[in-house]
């Protein structure tokens, strides 16, 4: 088995954290944070907030 290929395989780490708050029977707000890291590349951060209303 060639171990150099296993060492060259990219490693991806990802973590997410989210929160959802109910305002009423049909409306809620949410916030999500996401962290991504791919080996040999810079990190990526994403933050999203929103309001969801169902009909």
pLDDT of residue 39: 86
Task: Answer yes or no: is 18 within a domain.
Answer: yes
pLDDT of residue 42: 87
Task: Answer yes or no: is 3 within a domain.
Answer: no
Q: Please count the structural domains in the chain.
A: 1
Q: DSSP class of residue 25? A: S
Neighbouring residues of 15: CB distance < 8 A, sequence distance ≥ 6: 34, 35
Domain that holds residue 43: 10-53
The mean pLDDT values, 10 residues at a time, for the chain of 55 residues are 64 94 97 93 93 95
Task: Answer yes or no: is 4 within a domain.
Answer: no
Task: Answer yes or no: is 44 within a domain.
Answer: yes
Handedness of CA 45, 12, 15, 29 (dihedral sign): positive
Neighbouring residues of 10: CB distance < 8 A, sequence distance ≥ 6: 38, 39, 40
Residues in a beta bridge with 44: 36
pLDDT of residue 9: 79
Task: Answer yes or no: is 23 within a domain.
Answer: yes
């Amino acid at each position: 088995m060639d171990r150099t290929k296993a060492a060259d395989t990219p490693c991806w780490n990802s973590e997410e954290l989210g929160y959802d708050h109910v305002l009423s029977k049909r409306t809620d707000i949410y916030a999500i944070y996401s962290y991504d890291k791919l080996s040999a590349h810079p990190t990526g951060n994403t933050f999203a907030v929103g309001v969801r209303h169902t009909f």
